[in-house]
Amino acid sequence: MIGHLLLSLVLAATAIAILVKGLRYRPGRPVWSLFLLLFFGIWAGGLWMAPVGPTHFGITWLPFVLIGVLLSVLVVALSPQTHRSHQQELELEREVVVGIGLFFWVLIGVLITAIVAAYR
């Protein structure tokens, strides 16, 4: 369990670093929320996928990496890539903060439930 958690943390942090710095990706929501979604999504997805590939330190890491790549590609593909003025960005930020609320926390709750269920 600790190995899965650490692997998911490392993969989510790597994905965020690549998205924000390497691809100059500017999410429409705060980066911490994107990190949480990637972290819990990688952890839940890696646990529920069939364990295939090499095992290191007792962890089959390939499903976690594949889920991380898939989620990162989905984030970039589903995000708007238009350039906005500063005023438009401020308005969008206000809308996103309101929009993250319920859906975001319900999704995080579902992912945590999937993680707990995988260990039972």
- Which pLDDT score is estimated for 105? 82
Residue 40 CB contacts under 8 Å (≥ 6 apart), including other chains: 8, 108, 111, 112, 115
Helices 2-17 and 31-48: crossing angle in degrees, nearest 10, is 130
For tokens 């593909």, name the residue: 77
Q: Where are the domains of the chain?
A: 2-118
pLDDT in tens, the chain (120 residues): 888 999 999 999 999 988 888 776 666 667 888 899 999 999 999 988 888 888 888 888 899 999 999 998 888 777 766 665 667 666 666 666 555 677 788 888 999 999 999 988
- Which pLDDT score is estimated for 39? 94
What is the value of pTM for the model shown? 0.73
Exposure b/e, 78-93, CB count within 10 A at least 16 = b: eeeeeeeeeeeeeeee
